A = this chain, B = another copy of it.
Amino acid sequence: MKLSRIGEFGLIRRFSPRFLRDLPPGVTGIGDDCAILPWSGRRRLLVTTDMLVEGAHFLRAKISARDLGRKSLAVNLSDIAAMGGRPSAAFLSLGIPVDIGVAWLDAFFAGLRELARRERVSLLGGDTTRSPGPLVINVAVLGEAMAGRIKLRSGAKPGDAIFVTGSLGDSGAGLRILLAGHPRNRDESALVRSHNRPRPQLAEGAWLAGRAAVTAMMDISDGIDSDLRRIMERSRCGAAVDLDALPISGPLRRTALRRGWEARELAAAGGEDYSLLAAVRSDRAAAVARGFAREFGRPLFRIGTITAARNGLRYFSGGSLTELERRGFDHFKRG
């Protein structure tokens, strides 16, 4: 059977049950943004890992070594943010093709270290090796959170409000601009920057983790169309999304108009936003949104409602049911 038939999530569904049977008590494995292990007392250890492969996740001609070093760490910190945790240590494995020199690596490490220092993450080890093919980067990050303040994907309930912590689709648009050539103006440069320099929302994640009314949380890495399905799967629920409510930035709105793109499609299925997706008990939704705005000086965007599982994922626009043209990202199905 070809992998493209079952897809990335099919693969995880196929293999994870065999390993989940072997778990010791108190441990949460495969299926959330991070694994959770007992630490001491109420402290929990969070672990996450991400692999970036040249040609699949990035093109070396389209991102500076410094930005790539930074982003390799950022995408992992985003997983820690999604659990409401604080990152502490990082481990880097590099498969380095022959045409990469020391100057390139200097810049890569400078970018990684810049973000590591800002977020107080120590690079504690890793592995460097030659790659006969593409550049391969694997980062594993350890973090910490207190039991009872960790938000899983599995807690959402029908009726909960669905929020996102930042505008959607900028990164997807930035990627499209890079694949088509170069940014043509300031708006397009901003979108490319969103793609190449994502900011892990650690403060936002920690704040949301402190609200008991937040029932589920994850980071937006494949686009809400894909990521919401992960929450639905784990929480055994459905979701209704109001496409008119998706937060779309000025640069994306103007660029979509100019280039004839459908901004809402990019916002729903573009991927790599690395903001957070959270479900919040409906009776506390307005208060949480007010508190977030007070804390961070920008809005928490309500984009829909958790529904019963039988409804699946439904999109609305102008109050009527509608469909997306694009689907969220699956590495194997797009292959």
Task: Name A's B-contacting residues (CB within 8 A).
Answer: 1-4, 6, 8, 11-12, 14-15, 18-19, 22-24, 27-30, 34-35, 37, 39-41, 45, 47-51, 53-57, 88-89, 91, 93-96, 98, 100-103, 105, 109, 113, 116-117, 122-134, 136, 138, 140, 142, 331-332, 334-335
Contacts and interface: CB of A to CB of B under 8 A. Distances in A.
A50 B96 contact: no
Contacts of A19: 113, 116, 122-124
Given A55-B132, A100-B3, A140-B91, A22 B127 contact: no
Contacts of A1: 101-103
Nearest to A40: B40
Given A23-B122, A56-B95, A105 B29 contact: no
Contact of A130 (B12, B131, B140, B335): B335
A41 B122 CA distance: 21
A30 B123 contact: yes
Majority-rule SS of A interface residues: mixed
B15 A109 contact: yes
B125 A48 contact: yes
A332 B128 CA distance: 9
Contacts of A51: 93-95, 127, 129, 136, 138
Contacts of A124: 19, 23, 27-30, 35, 37, 47
A127 B47 CA distance: 12
A80 to B, nearest CB: 13
Given A14-B102, A53-B133, A136-B136, A125 B47 contact: yes
Contacts of A8: 128-129
Among all A-B residue pairs, the 3 with the closest Cβ atoms? A133-B133, A40-B40, A35-B124
B136 A95 contact: yes
A136 B6 CA distance: 20
B132 A91 contact: no
A53 B22 contact: no
Contacts of A53: 95, 129-133, 136
Contacts of A126: 30, 49
A11 B128 contact: yes
* Residue in A49, A116, A331 with the greatest tally of chain B CB atoms within 10 Å: A49
Contact of A50 (B14, B103, B127): B127
A106 to B, nearest CB: 8
Given A19-B116, A29-B125, A130-B332, 13 more contacts: A2-B101, A8-B129, A11-B102, A18-B109, A23-B122, A24-B88, A29-B123, A37-B88, A39-B40, A40-B41, A51-B94, A51-B127, A53-B133
